């Protein structure tokens, strides 16, 4: 009998075994989606970095292929680090960072080997690698993660690379006419004084008038550009919205922007890193993945034989306010929805906890819209809350009796006496002098009785004005050890890793809606679906023969 692995997910991207981190070079090419990822072929901890590779027809079910890029040459013998794919004359080309035989970060290029293999299994590294070296003021330890290339009106390709120059974060811009010989631009695409090294930049245009995604080279029409950076300092992903000046080749963030990362919006206020997007030309959308790390111990990773996963793919576009990004699980997730439970116009009195029963809730997709009969009774807001909402969520608890809220969901719960566990995802409304502020918390303090597990509370003030219609929506994907939440239609996202203990003894997990505020809260509608298990990188299967 195989020992049960309660942390293994049902529909999140993971290799069948070993370590995974950053998503690399996602693309759609001739009927197939490809996802490469930072992978250790030899074990469940970080090391021996290579590019793992999987393919899919629907972005939900994945077939694992052999490692696409491994450490083979002087220019990458110490690691094949992150990178991306660009279509050059219609052909996919990989740009990636190698850790060379002198331990330097260098940039390399690889082409598909066999033009007739639809699965793009083999890649050949060019003989003229490396194509970019850390020379001059570039720190050879901090020069990595080339973006997908884009093509300018002047007939030159561009790519952008994260770098550290005398302690300053810079996204360096390189140009090329032939995608082979690259020259560093006079200016960086963008830079910052105080936020440390920026890894894994992602740079792409977004439409101001539609949810459709855009090809990376589009720079005309009603558009803005987004620069996403991963801060080594905080291990969080942030984004800036602005204009790309193609003449100077610089990104100019919108006026509100200050050079203080604490004021920048985050891709996800939970626990993700090194995100990357691609343009899905099949469905005209931009899709986004992020690495979700483990947050239990290394010994646990070794015991289970794997570590890390990707967020469920999200469509990403710019809100009509032109300021914030919206991220939403791709529609294709509906392929997995099974039995559904629904509540409509359901009053949640103060102090009530109501169970959503009848489906398996350890793999579920839950959408709920709360309505507040009135905003009177909201507690007063203190400006100091703004600086550190996670600290605030750590200090309060979901069982406090508040004014409006706490109300929300308890997920992955156990009610068995002496073994109670619950993860709370909830809201609490505050009133400042001129507006209402909606706090969202994901509180893991009571999520597990397992030892050595990180059980933080994360918080964010959500980018939704509650005073408009007194409604707030929450969507939560629950998948065994990962809980991804989307507030206000995807304006604020929070992903957490949860390791409940009760499932180890075969107990099923519960799901509740609750209200511990002094005012009644109404559920306008709740839909919860049990989710089927996707086929994700199952070993020993022959994709081609099926």
Q: State the Cα–Cα distance between residues 514 and 99, nearest whole angstrom.
A: 51
CB of 75 to ligand DQQ, least distance (A): 15
Choose among 152, 151, 158, 154: nearest CA to 132: 158
**x/- map, 183-202, ligand DQQ, by CB under 6 A:** ----------------xx--
User: Does residue 148 contact residue 168 with C-beta atoms inside 8 Å?
Assistant: no
Q: Applying CB under 6 A, which of residues 10, 27, 35, 49 lies at the interface with ligand DQQ?
A: 49
CB of 37 to ligand DQQ, least distance (A): 10
Q: Which is nearer to ligand DQQ, 201 or 406 (CB)?
A: 201
Question: Binding of ligand DQQ at residue 81 (CB under 6 A)?
Answer: yes
**x/- map, 444-483, ligand DQQ, by CB under 6 A:** ----------------------------------------
Q: Which is nearer to ligand DQQ, 80 or 404 (CB)?
A: 80
Q: State the Cα–Cα distance between residues 234 and 269, nearest whole angstrom.
A: 12
CB of 83 to ligand DQQ, least distance (A): 8
Write a three-state SS string for 295-310.
Answer: CCCHHHHHHHCEECEE
DSSP state at residue 390:
H
Both structure tokens of 354: 């109501």
Sheet holding 91-99: strands in order across? Answer: 80-88, 91-99, 105-112, 123-125
Q: Which is nearer to ligand DQQ, 61 or 236 (CB)?
A: 236
CB atoms within 10 A of CB 238: 19
CB of 110 to ligand DQQ, least distance (A): 15
CB of 145 to ligand DQQ, least distance (A): 5
DSSP state at residue 148:
P
What torsion, rounded to 10 degrees, do the Cα atoms 16, 19, 25, 29 define? -10
CB of 294 to ligand DQQ, least distance (A): 14
Choose among 223, 228, 140: nearest CA to 190: 228
Active site residues: 22
Using DSSP, state whether 419 is helix, strand or coil: coil
Q: State the Cα–Cα distance between residues 517 and 427, nearest whole angstrom.
A: 10
Q: Applying CB under 6 A, which of residues 38, 107, 148, 164 lies at the interface with ligand DQQ?
A: 38
Q: Which is nearer to ligand DQQ, 98 or 405 (CB)?
A: 98
Count of positions on this chain that bind ligand DQQ (CB under 6 A): 13
Q: State the Cα–Cα distance between residues 458 and 473, nearest whole angstrom.
A: 18
Residues 87-146 that bind ligand DQQ (CB under 6 A): 97, 144-145
Q: Which is nearer to ligand DQQ, 274 or 483 (CB)?
A: 274
Question: Binding of ligand DQQ at residue 307 (CB under 6 A)?
Answer: no
Q: Which is nearer to ligand DQQ, 18 or 38 (CB)?
A: 38
Q: Which is nearer to ligand DQQ, 199 or 421 (CB)?
A: 199
DSSP state at residue 352:
E
Residues 311-350 that bind ligand DQQ (CB under 6 A): none
Residues 149-168 that bind ligand DQQ (CB under 6 A): none
CB of 297 to ligand DQQ, least distance (A): 20
CB of 282 to ligand DQQ, least distance (A): 28
What is the DSSP annotation of 20-68?
EEEEEEEEEETTEEEEEEEEETT-SSS-S-EEEEEEESSSSSBEEEEEE
Q: Which is nearer to ligand DQQ, 83 or 213 (CB)?
A: 83
- Residue nearest ligand DQQ, Cβ-based: 81
**x/- map, 255-284, ligand DQQ, by CB under 6 A:** ------------------xx----------
Question: Binding of ligand DQQ at residue 82 (CB under 6 A)?
Answer: yes
Q: State the Cα–Cα distance between residues 161 and 166, nearest whole angstrom.
A: 16
Question: Binding of ligand DQQ at residue 442 (CB under 6 A)?
Answer: no
**Radius of gyration over every alpha carbon of the chain, rounded to an integer in angstroms:** 23
Please report which helix (H) or strand (E) contains residue 367, including its range.
Answer: strand 363-371
| The pairing of beta strand 63-69 with beta strand 50-56 | antiparallel
Q: State the Cα–Cα distance between residues 408 and 523, nearest whole angstrom.
A: 10
Question: Binding of ligand DQQ at residue 22 (CB under 6 A)?
Answer: yes
Q: State the Cα–Cα distance between residues 325 and 206, nearest whole angstrom.
A: 9
Q: Which is nearer to ligand DQQ, 293 or 492 (CB)?
A: 293
Ranges of H-type helices in 438-499 = none
Choose among 181, 9, 157, 178: nearest CA to 84: 157
CB of 188 to ligand DQQ, least distance (A): 17
Instruction: List interacting residues with ligand DQQ (CB under 6 A).
Output: 21-22, 38, 49, 81-82, 97, 144-145, 199-200, 273-274
């Amino acid at each position: 009998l195989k020992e049960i692995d309660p942390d293994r997910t049902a529909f999140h991207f993971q290799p069948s075994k070993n370590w995974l981190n950053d998503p690399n070079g996602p693309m759609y090419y001739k009927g197939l989606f490809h996802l490469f990822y930072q992978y250790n072929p030899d074990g469940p901890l970080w090391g021996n970095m290579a590019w793992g590779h999987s393919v899919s027809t629907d972005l939900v079910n994945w077939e694992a292929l052999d490692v696409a890029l491994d450490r083979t040459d002087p220019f990458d013998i110490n690691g094949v680090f992150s990178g991306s794919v660009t279509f050059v004359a219609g052909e996919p080309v990989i740009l990636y960072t190698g850790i060379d035989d002198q331990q330097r970060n260098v940039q390399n290029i690889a082409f598909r080997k066999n033009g007739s293999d639809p699965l793009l299994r083999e890649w050949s590294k060019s003989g003229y690698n490396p194509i970019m070296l850390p020379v001059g003021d570039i720190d050879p330890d901090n020069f990595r993660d080339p973006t997908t290339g884009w093509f300018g009106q002047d007939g030159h390709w561009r790519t952008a690379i994260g770098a550290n120059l005398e302690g300053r974060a810079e996204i360096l811009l390189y140009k090329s006419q032939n995608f082979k010989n690259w020259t560093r631009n006079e200016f960086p695409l963008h830079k910052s004084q105080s936020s440390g090294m920026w890894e894994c930049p992602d740079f792409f245009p977004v439409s101001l008038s539609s949810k459709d995604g855009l090809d990376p080279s589009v720079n005309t029409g009603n558009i803005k550009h987004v620069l996403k950076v991963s801060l080594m300092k905080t291990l969080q992903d942030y984004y800036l919205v602005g204009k790309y000046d193609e003449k100077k080749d610089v990104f100019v963030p919108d006026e509100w922007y200050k050079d203080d990362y604490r004021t920048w919006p985050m891709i996800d206020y939970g626990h993700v890193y090194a995100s990357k997007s691609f343009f899905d030309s099949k469905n005209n959308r931009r899709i986004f993945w992020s690495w979700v790390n483990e947050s239990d111990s290394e010994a646990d990773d070794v015991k289970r034989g794997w570590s890390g996963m990707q967020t469920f793919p999200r469509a990403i576009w710019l809100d009509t306010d032109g300021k914030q990004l919206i991220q939403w699980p791709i529609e294709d997730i509906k392929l997995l929805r099974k039995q559904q439970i629904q509540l409509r116009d359901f009053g949640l009195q103060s102090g009530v906890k109501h169970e959503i029963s009848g489906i398996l809730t350890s793999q579920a997709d839950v959408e709920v819209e709360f309505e507040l009969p009135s905003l009177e009774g909201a507690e007063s807001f203190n400006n100091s809350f703004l600086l550190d909402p996670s600290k605030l969520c750590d200090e309060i608890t979901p069982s406090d009796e508040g004014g409006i809220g706490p109300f929300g969901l308890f997920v992955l719960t156990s009610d068995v006496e002496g073994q109670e566990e619950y993860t709370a995802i909830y809201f609490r409304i505050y009133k400042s002098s001129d507006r209402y502020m909606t706090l969202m918390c994901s509180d893991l303090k009571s999520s597990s009785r397992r030892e050595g597990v990180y059980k933080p509370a994360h918080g964010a003030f959500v980018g939704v004005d509650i005073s408009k219609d007194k409604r707030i929506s929450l969507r939560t994907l629950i998948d065994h050890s990962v809980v991804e939440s989307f507030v206000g239609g995807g304006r604020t996202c929070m992903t957490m890793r949860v390791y409940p203990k009760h499932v180890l003894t075969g107990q099923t997990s519960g799901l509740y809606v609750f209200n511990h505020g002094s005012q009644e809260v109404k559920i306008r509608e709740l839909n919860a679906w049990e989710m089927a298990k996707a086929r994700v990188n199952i070993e020993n299967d022959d994709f081609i023969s099926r």
